[in-house]
Structures are given as structure tokens and as C-alpha cells.
């Protein structure tokens, strides 16, 4: 059963029982992503790490490493 079919079945069941209808799949995705980002920032602050710019800083470190500091074995 697809997500759309399940949602239509849930709408039918809710109307039949007189209960409120659940939101359509995907309507809360942006809100959930925002709340997840805020929660991760909160956990970073509690752990004493910077709350913003961590990914950008890690990418900058990775992209601008010195050529002699490779982690790969020399034979490969």
C-alpha cells in the first residue's frame, strides 16, 4: 500500500469515526527539519561546541589540508 492510499484510508476512517483528519504526508517536512536543526544546535551548546558553522568549518579544514598530511598509506 502506498503512502497516498494509506492517507486516503485514514481520511475515510477518520470521517467515519468523527475524529480529526491527519495532515497529508509531507506537509510537516520543513517544520520537522527546522526542529531537528534547532535540537542539534541545542545539543551542541550543551556539549560546549559551536552551534553554528560546524559543517562549513569541517569542510574548509578538509578542502584546505596540506598535501603532506594525507591519512592514506603511502603504498596505495
**pLDDT over 90 percentage in the chain:** 41
Residue pair 4/25 in contact (Cβ under 8 Å)? The answer is: yes
pLDDT at 61: 85
Residue pair 15/21 in contact (Cβ under 8 Å)? The answer is: yes
Which residue ranges make up each domain of the chain?
A: 3-63
- What is the band of 66 on the pLDDT scale with cuts at 50, 70, 90? low
**pLDDT over 70 percentage in the chain:** 86
Confidence (pTM):
0.49
Biggest alpha carbon distance in the chain?
70
User: What length does the chain have?
Assistant: 76
Taking 60 as the threshold, does the pLDDT of residue 62 lie above it? yes
- What is the band of 10 on the pLDDT scale with cuts at 50, 70, 90? very high
pLDDT at 1: 86
Amino acid at each position: 500500500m502506498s503512502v497516498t492510499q494509506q492517507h486516503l484510508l485514514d481520511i475515510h476512517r477518520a470521517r467515519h469515526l468523527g475524529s480529526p483528519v491527519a495532515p497529508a504526508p509531507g506537509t510537516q517536512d520543513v517544520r520537522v527539519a527546522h526542529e531537528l536543526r534547532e535540537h542539534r544546535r541545542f545539543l551542541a551548546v550543551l556539549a560546549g561546541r559551536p552551534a553554528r558553522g560546524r559543517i562549513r568549518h569541517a569542510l574548509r579544514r578538509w578542502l584546505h589540508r596540506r598535501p603532506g598530511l594525507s591519512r592514506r598509506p603511502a603504498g596505495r
